[in-house]
Amino acid sequence: MESFWENIIVVTAARYSVFVLCTLVFLAIFELVTSYKNWEEIKKGNFAVAMATGGKLFGLATIFRYSIEHNDSLFQSIGWGVFGFVLLLFGYLIFEFLTPTIKVDEEIGKGNTAVGFISMMISIGLAFVIGASIV
């Protein structure tokens, strides 16, 4: 049975499944934090929300990529992925706090693509920094 869990196909499927599950949970948490409804806005064609959400997705994938690369254990990968998500969420909240003249959530919800783009790039940039720090 031990060789079953060491099979690269089984390991890949397990990591893939965990990543998908974690992504769904993390996106639900982001949905709670933002003032707009991500998927409703995307369905309406709000490109700013699509960019911000896409940045978060790319950020999560990048964090998990580094987490998987640097950890043999699935549980270690999950742990670093969760920690990376918390840092990414914290970064998003800091972005809102550090721009007192712009209500980031409100602007993205209204479809301001410039703010959506900056939000996307912050998520991507933070993900690379977070990922590089994962050991």
Determine the Cα angle at 86 with ends 90 and 60, to 5°: 105
Query: CA-CA distance, 17 to 92, in Å (whole number)?
Result: 26
Structural domain range at position 13: 2-133
Mind listing the pLDDT tens digit for each residue in 75-102?
A: 898 999 999 999 999 998 898 888 888 8
List the structure tokens of 28. 């639900």
Mind listing the pLDDT tens digit for each residue in 24-42?
A: 999 999 999 888 999 999 9
To the nearest whole number, what is the mean pLDDT of the chain? 91
pLDDT at 131 exceeding the cut of 80: yes
Mean pLDDT of 41-61: 96
- The backbone torsions φ and ψ at residue 111, rounded to the nearest 5 degrees and listed phi first, read 95, 15
Count of structural domains within the chain: 1
Confidence of residue 72 (pLDDT cuts 50, 70, 90): confident
pLDDT at 1 exceeding the cut of 90: no
Q: What is the pTM of this model?
A: 0.86
List the structure tokens of 41. 């806005």
Cα dist. 120→51, 77, 84, 113, 116 in Å?
A: 6, 24, 16, 10, 6
Burial 58-91 (b: 16+ CB within 10 A, else e): ebbebbbebbbeebeeeeebbebbeebbebbbeb
Report CA 25 to chain centroid distance, whole Å. 10
Query: CA-CA distance, 73 to 80, in Å (whole number)?
Result: 11
> 88 or 1: which carries more pLDDT confidence?
88
